[in-house]
Amino acid sequence: MGLPPTQVWTRDQIATRILAGDTLFVLHGNLVRVPPSWLAAHPGGRLSILHFVGRDATDEVEAFHSDETLQRMRGFIIGRVEVGEDGWTPLVPPIANGWVRRVGKDGKMEWYNEARPVKSREGAGISPAFDGLLKKEDGESTECGPTLSMLQSLPSKLSPKNEKLNSDAYKELHKRITDAGLYKTRFLTGYGPEFVRYSLLALLSYVCYRNGWLVPSALFLGLFWQQLTFFAHDLGHVGVTHNWAADRLISIFVADFLGGLSIGWWVNPISSNRACPRSDPDIQHLPFFAISPVFLNSLWSSYYKREMTFDAFGKLFVSMQHKLFYLVLSLARFNLYANSYGYLAKTAFEPRRFRGGRWWWWAEIAGLGLFFVWFGAVLRGCGTWQSALVYLLVSHIAASPVHIVLSHFSRSTDDLGPTESFFARQLRTTVDVICSPSIEFIHGGLHLQVTHHLFPRLPRHNLREASLIVKEYAKERGLEYAEFGFVEGNGEVRGVLKQVADQIKIVGMVADSEIREAMKT
């Protein structure tokens, strides 16, 4: 492959190209143009790219892509960029203001305003795009596309110089992790004990079922699913064989055939949830949960492409969310089914996605079909519908203890704008669950979520060693590396949920007071 183009692009020139519809981002001082065909075929989905249009995405791109992919990406470079001593001055991506590209009536691509940014409080000195909040557009927009002023962010409370130092620290940290050989998968010492555990749980479930002990059988099946979740997670990150096709094929067997869940659905949001905290699909759970008062509005989700409506049903649930927390989580697997099948239905007619065509989609359909064959036979073998219902509920509730919400729900969901570095953002929005090495298999090793967010492709069994290095770097940069115990973490999350629930009561009290006052006058 030849050398990349040497043209130097100014910030104004790049802004003009973005307004014209180009998808551009900065990578190691180079300007990368993502062709429309690749934007549609990107394995991590469109959103993970669109949220970095006009920004320096070097750290995020290196965190999520292999050396092979990074080398292929060089073919999309169209020149260099003007970078100051504090790094690239970011532009605000059009999607942050609700602007996306779609096919118009004449068959050509055009701008479409799917939502509007929520206006900041007067005098806050923060750009609306920094809030990361969008509301559904009412009526037709009078603008035919984003404007230059929309791409310009107001001054941030963050220091560009300091964020540049954080970014440099991350690059050095990434090199140290790589040089330590922590990207190498430990098949024997890492996955060996896990495969023994999977096999034992499956065997116990089978033996109990054959002897008519349905509740213990369902319990062991649920624990089998719970443990397999972590293996499917690694495969989704291409962190086992490090070959996309091999890991995807294995993950379809594990997630779809054995677990009844779409691995394609799961992979799609994990690539999006590092971009913008409030666009993160992992924290958008209305009408059941709201982890910030900002969700007590009907906000637009750029991931789900729908309004997260805060209606009477949502108001009722959220007002009791701290009490219903464990009940909702215990039945969460049913919601995962709905999300999985909805994703596969939505992608049925999309253009070719991922390398190797659409075999992955058909493989998932086959895997899910076979899951319902074997699990349906298990339920029918229970004898009565009452026994089948008990088996269904016990197995699904037993599969629910996955700690991920602890690592996200108690942390900040604020979007501090495009100036914030990847390193600082992940440390600010994620927390570890302190756990003894002897029982960390219960969390699948993913209790070390801070390090996992920083290095998502890192094999799970190397996270503990890597986390020690990350803590050292965070301390040097004066950044918080948050962690708490499992019990404490549950208290923190329920506390956050209660605070948001109390906001509903306060709003209701204020409304009642205003009504009474109006009636008096």
CATH of 8-91, one of 3.40.50.720, 3.90.330.10, 3.10.120.10, 3.40.50.1820: 3.10.120.10
Q: CA separation (Å) from 388 to 379, 382, 392?
A: 5, 5, 6
Q: CA separation (Å) from 256 to 57, 73, 196, 242, 355?
A: 32, 31, 21, 20, 20
Q: Write down the pLDDT at residue 351.
A: 57
Q: What is the pTM of this model?
A: 0.83
Q: Write down the pLDDT at residue 317.
A: 75
Render 18-60 in DSSP notation, one character per residue. HHTT--EEEETTEEEE--HHHHHH-TT-SHHHHTTTTSB-HHH
- Rounded to whole angstroms, the Cα distance separating 407 from 140 reads 40
Q: Write down the pLDDT at residue 511.
A: 43
C-alpha neighbours within 13 Å on the C-beta side of residue 114: 19
Q: Write down the pLDDT at residue 413.
A: 74
- For residues 390 and 215, the answer to whether their CB atoms sit within 8 Å is yes
Using the structure block, give the residue that is written with the tokens 């499917």. Answer: 232
- Rounded to whole angstroms, the Cα distance separating 164 from 428 reads 16
Helical ranges in 42-92 per DSSP H:
47-50, 58-64, 67-73
**Residue 362, helix vs strand vs coil:** helix
**Residue 383, helix vs strand vs coil:** coil
Residues in the chain: 521
Q: Write down the pLDDT at residue 352.
A: 55
- For residues 492 and 432, the answer to whether their CB atoms sit within 8 Å is no
Which part of the chain is CATH 3.10.120.10?
8-91
Give the DSSP letter of residue 295.
G
Q: Write down the pLDDT at residue 366.
A: 95
Q: What is the 3-state secondary structure (H, E, C) of 435-472?
A: CCCCCHHHHCCCCCHHHHHHCCCCCHHHHHHHHHHHHH
- Rounded to whole angstroms, the Cα distance separating 278 from 294 reads 9
Q: Write down the pLDDT at residue 269.
A: 60
Give the DSSP letter of residue 9.
E
Q: Write down the pLDDT at residue 202.
A: 97
Query: How many other CB atoms sit within 10 Å of the CB of residue 210?
Result: 10
- Rounded to whole angstroms, the Cα distance separating 168 from 87 reads 10
Using the structure block, give the residue that is written with the tokens 């089998």. Answer: 224
- For residues 455 and 403, the answer to whether their CB atoms sit within 8 Å is no
Nearest to 225 by CA among 384, 337, 113: 337
- For residues 221 and 206, the answer to whether their CB atoms sit within 8 Å is no
Q: What is the 3-state secondary structure (H, E, C) of 307-350?
A: EECCCHHHHHHHHCHHHHHHHHHHCHHHHHHHHHHHHHHHCCCC
Query: How many other CB atoms sit within 10 Å of the CB of residue 511?
Result: 10
Residue type at 145? G
Walk along the chain (521 residues) and give the pLDDT tens digit of each residue. 455 677 899 999 999 999 999 999 999 999 999 998 888 777 777 888 999 999 999 999 999 888 888 888 888 999 999 888 888 999 999 998 888 888 888 888 899 888 877 664 433 333 444 455 666 665 555 568 888 988 987 777 889 899 999 999 999 999 999 999 999 999 999 899 999 999 999 999 999 999 999 999 999 999 999 999 999 999 988 889 888 889 999 999 999 999 999 998 888 765 554 555 445 545 556 667 777 777 677 666 666 666 677 777 777 777 887 788 888 888 889 988 988 998 888 887 765 554 455 788 899 999 999 999 999 999 999 999 999 999 999 999 999 876 667 777 777 777 788 889 999 999 898 888 888 887 788 888 888 889 999 999 899 999 999 999 999 888 888 888 988 888 888 888 888 878 878 887 776 554 444 444 544 55
